[in-house]
Amino acid sequence: MNTLLPETAQSDVAPVIGRFAPSPTGPLHFGSLVAAVGSYCLARQAAGRWLLRMEDLDTPRVVPGAADEIMRTLELLGLHWDGPVIWQSQRSGAYSAALASLEQRGLLFDCGCSRKEILASAPHPGEEGPVYPGTCRHGLAPGRRPRALRIKVPEEQVCFVDGVFGSHEQILSRVVGDFVLRRADGLFAYQLAVVVDDAASGINQVVRGADLLSSTPRQIFLQSCLGYPIPSYVHLPLALNAAGKKISKRQGIIDTPESGREGVLVCRILQFLGQDVPLSIRGADPVEVLSWGVTHFNIRRVLMCDQRLVGNENKS
Ligand code: GLU
């Protein structure tokens, strides 16, 4: 079996370009702010740029006003981004072009299966849900209408070294199977959009929540199919609620930081990420706390974090 192993992370040789890529499906919560602060500190520590991309591609899930609220929260916390905001909803031309290039190379196929059929054919779904069984890979059965567009994945192991979690490998054909790039509802899939956008912006340092660790091999595979450089990856531990579950937007552990307590929130985020924030700056304004974070952020400390937040403690 072949192994796809990105050789040099691009950020070893080029000026760092990082990003924060929230989905405007609600206000930022503690978990998403962890990704914002972590990606900001690591990009700025390397004297790099830090971009903001609104992942408003999944239009049915986008909440009106959420993007404005996200930008307001970032500004309140002193998380100032470089350049104009990138809106995925305005980039369908780039996604279509990427699909056309994959299509030309014979990597795509129409799939006529419904979710129910895939589920029925994969009775023991893996951690990424049911593994696509390859039903339409060699052509649609007569009478089937095309629904989603999928990419063929080889029997290949994708390996990468994450900045926090270390070496990670996945055999795509066993864990996810041929995956969707354009959904049955016509929307471009997250996996495609993220790869096309990161490449278009020259992102070479991706810092985000560990819930996306298992998506990374799909993204590295797509980058290699499209001839894009491979960024370096850092996945940050997820903030968990008292029950040990990932904090969701609905739980709203933090919506907008309380006025006058923005610095306290940034301190809590840095502490959550295992950083040893000195007492002297715990009451400081967010810009001062962030500037401490930029200078002192130590990625080796991240795994020392205690992922469990108790109730609304960060509002106390
Ligand atoms: N939009 C995704 C989210 O809000 C993040 C995507 C990424 O960082 O690659 O979870």
Task: Report pLDDT for 307.
Answer: 62
Distances (CA, A) of 131 to 113, 187, 193, 230: 13, 21, 21, 25
- Residue nearest to ligand 1 atom 7, measured at CA: 21
Task: Report pLDDT for 226.
Answer: 98
Give me the chain's average pLDDT, please: 89
**4 and 156 Cβ atoms separated by less than 8 Å:** yes
**135 and 183 Cβ atoms separated by less than 8 Å:** no
Measured in Å, residue 280 CA sits from the centre of ligand 1 at 33
Task: Report pLDDT for 179.
Answer: 96
Whether domain 2-90+200-304 has CATH 3.40.50.620: yes
User: What is the model's pTM?
Assistant: 0.91
Residue 171 has pLDDT above 70, yes or no: yes
Q: Do domains 2-90+200-304 and 93-154+169-190 have the same CATH topology?
A: yes
Using 50, 70 and 90 to split pLDDT, how confident is the model at 249? Answer: low
- Residue ranges per domain, the chain? 2-90+200-304, 93-154+169-190
> Is the CB–ligand 1 distance for residue 231 below 6 Å?
no
Measured in Å, residue 211 CA sits from the centre of ligand 1 at 9
Q: Choose the weakest-confidence range: 160-164, 256-260, 306-310.
A: 306-310
Measured in Å, residue 137 CA sits from the centre of ligand 1 at 29
> What six digits make up the tokens of 66?
């959420």
> Is the CB–ligand 1 distance for residue 212 below 6 Å?
yes
* CA separation for the pair 223, 235 (Å, rounded): 18
pLDDT in tens, 262-288: 999 999 999 999 999 999 998 899 999
Using 50, 70 and 90 to split pLDDT, how confident is the model at 9? Answer: low
Task: Report pLDDT for 315.
Answer: 34
**Residues 6 or more apart in contact with residue 225 via CB below 8 angstroms:** 102, 105, 107, 151
> Is the CB–ligand 1 distance for residue 26 below 6 Å?
no
> Is the CB–ligand 1 distance for residue 207 below 6 Å?
no
Task: Report pLDDT for 121.
Answer: 77
* CA separation for the pair 202, 16 (Å, rounded): 9
**Residues 6 or more apart in contact with residue 181 via CB below 8 angstroms:** 99, 102, 108, 149, 150, 151, 188, 189, 191, 192
> Is the CB–ligand 1 distance for residue 194 below 6 Å?
yes
**Quick one: average pLDDT of 70-85?**
97
Instruction: Name the CATH code of domain 93-154+169-190 (choices 3.40.50.620, 3.40.1190.20, 3.40.50.720, 3.40.190.10).
Output: 3.40.50.620
Measured in Å, residue 145 CA sits from the centre of ligand 1 at 31
Residue 254 has pLDDT above 70, yes or no: no
Burial class, 202, CB count within 10 angstroms (exposed 0-12 / middle 13-18 / buried 19+): middle
